[in-house]
Amino acid sequence: MKKIGSLLGLGVLTLLLGACGAPGRGSAAQTPAVREFFAMDTFMSVQVWGAGGEAAAAALQTETVRLEGLFSRARAESDITRLNARAGDGTQVPLSPETVQVLAAAGEVRRAVGGTFDVTVAPVMDLWGFGAGGTGCRVPDPQALSRCLALVDGGKLETGDGWARLEEPGMEADLGGIAKGYTAGRLVELLGEYEVSSALLNLGTSTIAAVGARPDGTPWRVALRDPRQEEGQIMVLALSDRILSTSGGYERFFEADGSIYHHILDPRTGWPAGSGLLSVTVVAEDGALSDVLSTALYVLGPEAAVDLWRTAGDFECVLCQTDGVVLVTEGLEDQMTFGGEDYGYTCEIVRR
């Protein structure tokens, strides 16, 4: 399997360096506290400005690692591992408040998006080789896929006050589609406990939190990569106090018998989504929401994604279609600089 990095991180870093040299501020104000670390199966970086920057950056790293210890299916003692181990035996498994909150939020979104996002898709992810329990990417046997697909049902994941339960033996939950977004939101909350003026949190190639403004007072500038080629970018978004999540088939995929299979599976069919989209970027105040919706909208396809945006009202999105048209919801119109024409794309603004 070939992995391709996103320009989200690279684009942000480049533009951030320009912000560090902004005029009108002292050198101390221009020097962020920086932490770079590996967590949640990706490289992360946090950059924090302000008198409390060093303490805040250290706290952000500590909190990220703590949450990974709760959410990771690859950790033997995590909440999710313990939940999965008791699937089908009727046990209300005691879990941390954060884990219960994430599972409950995932269930709410699952219902809202018609099952196009489902944390119980883990057995199917593993069968394809994309999940934490996978043993190498491959096109699954149809009968094996049918058996695993029967275990995908978020309606059989029950949550209560401090506990959760998987109703059927063999079911497993995986928080890969919501954990980074939830963590980004939690880190933004944590920054409120420190004397900081602004921050940029890059939680891998798919989730970025822009806190406050850049040191020169202008919005953070986040580059969205061209999903067809690693060195291109389709636009730059100017953001303040927002969390951005991107999903695209280019992130993880493999080729077999001349066909490309990517990791964004439709939980309803068990197959990689073929919705006419190359990538989806969601911008919202709520990190968990942005993370989940970037996947769900990718599975839904552009028409249903736009319909959901028109009724929801709590997020904006960029939908990059396979036909080269990039749909941008109107809330981002004044915050974007489109550059996709250099790579064969056209831009259309979607209005309510």
Give the pLDDT confidence score for residue 124 in this predicted structure.
97
Per the structure, the count of domains in the chain is 1
272, part of any domain:
no
Low-confidence winner among 67-81, 131-145, 189-203 (lowest mean pLDDT):
131-145
* Residue at 299 is within a domain: no
Range(s) of the domain holding residue 152: 71-166
Q: Note the pLDDT of residue 134.
A: 60
Ranked by mean pLDDT, the top range of 64-73, 124-133, 134-143 is: 64-73
Domain assignment present for 154: yes
For residue 158, the domain's CATH number is 1.10.3980.10
Beta-ladder partners of 222: 237
45 lies in a domain? no
| Structural tokens at position 87 | 């699937």
What are the pLDDT digits (tens) for 17-40? 334 333 333 344 579 999 999 999
**H-type helices in 3-96, by residue range?**
7-20, 27-30, 53-71, 79-85
More confident position, 257 or 8: 257
Query: For 122-134, what is each residue's pLDDT tens digit?
Result: 999 999 999 876 6
214 located within any domain? no
Predicted pLDDT of residue 29: 53
Report the alpha-carbon distance of residue 117 to residue 121 in Å, rounded. 8
Which is nearest to 174 in space by CA: 249, 244, 92, 78? 78
For the chain, give the percent of residues with pLDDT over 70: 91
Confidence of residue 14 (pLDDT cuts 50, 70, 90): very low
Residue 95 pairs in a beta bridge with: none
pLDDT at 22: 37
Q: What is the Rg, in whole angstroms, of the alpha carbon atoms belonging to the chain?
A: 20
Q: What is the pLDDT of residue 30?
A: 76
Inform me whether the pLDDT recorded for 308 exceeds 80. yes
Model confidence band, residue 211 (pLDDT cutoffs 50, 70, 90): very high
**CB burial of residue 307 (10 Å; 0-12, 13-18, 19+):** exposed
Q: What is the mean predicted confidence (pLDDT) over 111-132?
A: 94
Q: Is residue 155 part of a domain?
A: yes
> For residues 112 and 311, is the Cβ–Cβ distance under 8 A?
no
Structure-token pair, residue 161: 């006050």
Q: Please indicate, yes or no, if residue 113 is contained in any of the structural domains.
A: yes
Distance from C-alpha of 352 to C-alpha of 311, rounded to nearest angstrom:
9
The pLDDT assigned to 133 comes to 60
Q: Please state, in angstroms and rounded to a whole number, the distance separating the CA atoms of residues 110 and 47.
A: 33
Q: How far apart are CA 293 and CA 283, in angstroms?
A: 10
- The residues near 297 (Cβ < 8 Å, ≥ 6 apart) are 113, 247, 277, 280, 282, 304, 305, 308, 317, 319
Q: Band of the pLDDT at 251, cuts 50, 70, 90?
A: confident
Residue 123 in any domain: the answer is yes
Q: Please name every residue paired with 225 in a beta bridge, in sequence order, or none if there are none.
A: 233
